[in-house]
Amino acid sequence: MIPCNTFPTRRMRRMRAEPYIRALTQEHHITSENLVYPLFILDQPKGQDAISAMPGLARLGFDEVYRTAEKCLELGIPAIALFPVLPAHLKSENGDSALDPDGVLPRILQGLKSRFPSLGLCVDIALDPYTSHGHDGCLDEKGRVDNDKTLARLCQQALLYSQAGADIVAPSDMMDGRIQAIRHTLDENQEIHTLILSYAAKYASCFYGPFRNALGSEGCLRGDKKTYQMNPANLREALLEVALDAAEGADMLMVKPGMPYLDVISHVAAQSPIPTFAYQVSGEYAMIVAASANGWLDLRAAVLESLLGFKRAGCQGIFTYFALEAAQWLRESR
């Protein structure tokens, strides 16, 4: 410890007095290369549909997705994450549409990869966009999520999307053993270059509400997801989940949500040599936008400060709905 009698020899404000020295001594920086932009995909050739719970964002038809992908590349955003929006009649108890080779995600993956081969394409591996009950897996006869039956479907889903052009498959389901099972399936089918980004510490959070509104699944969830998503009170459990997923073959690790779990991110980043990501989720986005709309926060300052917080906590990558705006602001500040 530094002794407390160093004043006036040690004046900390000397290092803050001028812009040049603040710039020279800044410990962490956010860049557009740190960002991943999540997109909600409609199965239609063009057009968009505003998301009421996420002002400023929309569900996008294919043409809009292509335009957005091009914009990401122009701004230096290296990857996008794709989330399908399905009508109710395509949802079923076992999420069969997730395995449709002519479904919305395989087709948009093929289109994006042919047009933008250098753009990283990340897809969620989970069944909740496709199930009529809103859970991330198949249910057993007692209405519980059946871990091992779900694993088989997740492996099929990951292989389908990898073969369609996904660079990164991101299991967000929180089933036990899914990283090992998916890695084995990919490898035995010669998809050895496909990366696995594991949602290793995904909490049963209230901050996902606007996301479910975006997918149109907010009213169909039976019960809750607490039997597979993590208890928000637990940290050591997250470290065990991270260690298990790393041992099973994950290439990258995700903590979700982001801002309420910066302590978890910090511990994960400090203890794991595998790159750590965070997801600034829909509820975080909605709060910042709402506070800005009411004049309580400066949107630009709040967004950039929040993203810097993720970097300070140890993130290499950040999934954020602010990616386009943040990348533009960062470009303007150069």
Q: At what angle do helices 104-115 and 62-75 cross, to 10 degrees?
A: 40
* DSSP assignment string, 137-172: S-B-TTS-B-HHHHHHHHHHHHHHHHHHT-SEEEE-
Return d(Cα 124, Cα 128) in angstroms, integer: 10
Cβ–Cβ < 8 Å for 243, 190:
no
Active-site residue, from 91, 225, 256, 311: 256
Task: Write the DSSP symbol of residue 96.
Answer: G
Active-site residue, from 71, 113, 142, 202: 202
β-partners of residue 277 are: 254, 317
Place of tokens 């800044």: 26
Cβ–Cβ < 8 Å for 58, 50:
yes
Place of tokens 């990869």: 113
Decide if 202 is catalytic: yes
Burial class of 267 by CB neighbour count within 10 A (0 to 12, 13 to 18, 19+): buried
Task: Report CA Rg, the chain.
Answer: 21
Return d(Cα 289, Cα 292) in angstroms, integer: 5
- Tokens of residue 22, six digits: 């603040």
| Length of the chain as a residue count | 334
Return d(Cα 221, Cα 137) in angstroms, integer: 12
Helix (H, G, I), strand (E, B) or coil at 293: helix
- Closest to 138 in 3D by CA, of 157, 156, 125, 152: 152
Decide if 91 is catalytic: no
Q: Which residues are catalytic?
A: 202, 256
